[in-house]
């Protein structure tokens, strides 16, 4: 297909489905890293905003984080710790590590 048609199809897909799911991976305190959740975010947000939303939505603040409507739970147990420094978020094909301040590309 030509580039204009590809761009139009991408735009139509974004209008039809303005959300995407990012993967939250707990690795900080585990022997083996594992996906614990998918968090739904707006595609139009910046990478930093998507990372921050994934972090907040997988932290228990006023109630257990797995009760958030934008979260799909992927852990097998009854509960799961909050996302912390050393954990990661996968957006598309790029993995980001939660640092003490901000995020770094893995």
**pLDDT tens digits, residue range 22-45?**
999 999 998 899 999 999 999 999
- Place 50 in a pLDDT band, splitting at 50, 70 and 90: very high
| Bridge partners, residue 24, by sequence | 37, 89
Q: How far apart are CA 54 and CA 69, in angstroms?
A: 12
This model's pTM is above 0.85: no
| Bridge partners, residue 105, by sequence | 96
pLDDT in tens, 54-76: 999 999 989 999 999 999 999 98
Total domains in the fold of the chain: 1
Cα–Cα–Cα angle for 24, 30, 35, nearest 5°?
25
Token readout for 39 is: 């968090």
Q: What is the largest CA-CA distance in the chain?
A: 50
Domain with 29, as residue range(s), is 3-105
Q: Percentage of residues in the chain with pLDDT exceeding 70?
A: 87
Token readout for 45 is: 């947000």
């Amino acid at each position: 297909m030509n580039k204009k048609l590809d761009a139009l199809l991408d735009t139509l897909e974004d209008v039809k489905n303005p959300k995407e799911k990012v993967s939250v991976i707990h690795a900080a305190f585990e022997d083996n890293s594992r996906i614990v959740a998918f968090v739904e975010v707006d595609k139009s947000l910046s990478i930093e905003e998507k990372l921050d939303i994934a972090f907040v939505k997988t932290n228990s603040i006023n109630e257990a984080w797995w009760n958030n409507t934008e979260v799909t739970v992927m852990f097998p147990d009854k509960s799961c710790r909050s996302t912390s420094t050393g954990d990661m978020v996968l957006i598309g094909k790029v993995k980001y590590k939660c640092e003490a301040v901000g995020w770094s590309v893995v």
